Amino acid sequence: MSLLTVQDLGKSFGGVKAVDGISFTLAPGELLALIGPNGAGKSTTFNMVNGQLKADRGSIRLGGQELVGRRPRDIWRLGVGRTFQIAETFESLTVVENVQMALLAQDRLLYAMWRCAADHKRQQAIALLEQVGMAAQADRPCSELAYGDVKRVELAIAMANEPKLLLMDEPTAGMAPQERNALMALTKQLVVERGMAVLFTEHSMDVVFAYADRMIVLARGRLIAEGKPLEIRDHPKVQEVYFGSGKTFEKTQESAA
């Protein structure tokens, strides 16, 4: 049974068909990779699912509910989370304070109340940090953390709303290979433990092949292939897009980095 059902989704910018009638589904507990060359329409797809962009056509259903036409905040409340980069303004807060902020947002408390609510939600925030292996660093300022650890905190923040579906647009950008693997292994673990669904984009094909349950491939706004990682690797249309110009998956990754 699918959690997310996308049908004939489309979005144009001027004359450019950024997303041109794509359909796919996503099941609970599934890690689905959305890949494709730069400009293929991956981010546009993400932003239609989270409500930042309104689709020109088509439908996006979460459970039985239509998401097209809803505001980002309402879509978030329905259980669609996404990872945000910790803003510079929050870097001076400690790790646990950043997660407490996310929990406060969930309760719709105002930022102004933050200081009065100093210890509010601390236990819950620590529990989330335990899940991403960051509880021991809870009281350090985020500005002191290694890059890979900041990404773990961002994941904990995204989990605060207990999303049914988590969207991760290039979560491992700028990370060293070892850090990438650690973050995706952690994501995979959360998917398995919580039955959460994840839709993610990723440049490193090593990461995609190692962690994705299934993949969909976009090129120029169209969905050209769908399947398990090994099926995709040998798919003629995918070979054409990635290898046709003499590139390998790895070279594509390097040129995109």
Q: Which residue from 21, 29, 39, 72 is in contact with ligand ADP, where contact means CB under 6 A?
A: 39
Using CB under 5 A as the criterion, what x/- string covers residues 114-153 for binding Mg ion?
----------------------------------------
- Of residues 35 and 160, the one with the C-beta less far from ligand ADP: 35
Q: Are 183 and 153 in contact (CB under 8 A)?
A: no
Using CB under 6 A as the criterion, what x/- string covers residues 41-60 for binding ligand ADP?
xxxx----------------
Distances in Å between the Cα of 115 and the Cα atoms of 111, 120, 138 are 8, 10, 17
Chosen from Mg ion, ligand ADP, none, partner binding at 44 (C-beta under 5 to 8 Å by type): ligand ADP
Neighbours of 209 (CB within 10 A): 17
CA 12 to chain CA centroid, nearest Å? 22
**Least distance between ligand ADP and beta carbon 36 (Å):** 6
- Of residues 99 and 219, the one with the C-beta less far from ligand ADP: 219
* 195, two tokens: 């039955």
Rule CB under 6 A: say whether 256 interacts with ligand ADP.
no
3-state helix, strand, coil in the chain (%, to 5): 40, 25, 35
End-to-end CA distance of the chain, in Å?
A: 36
Q: What does the DSSP 8-state code read for residue 86? A: P
**Least distance between ligand ADP and beta carbon 50 (Å):** 13
Q: Which residue from 3, 31, 35, 43 is in contact with Mg ion, where contact means CB under 5 A?
A: 43
Rule CB under 6 A: say whether 36 interacts with ligand ADP.
yes
Residue whose beta carbon is closest to Mg ion: 43
Q: Are 65 and 3 in contact (CB under 8 A)?
A: no
Number of residues that bind Mg ion (CB under 5 A): 2
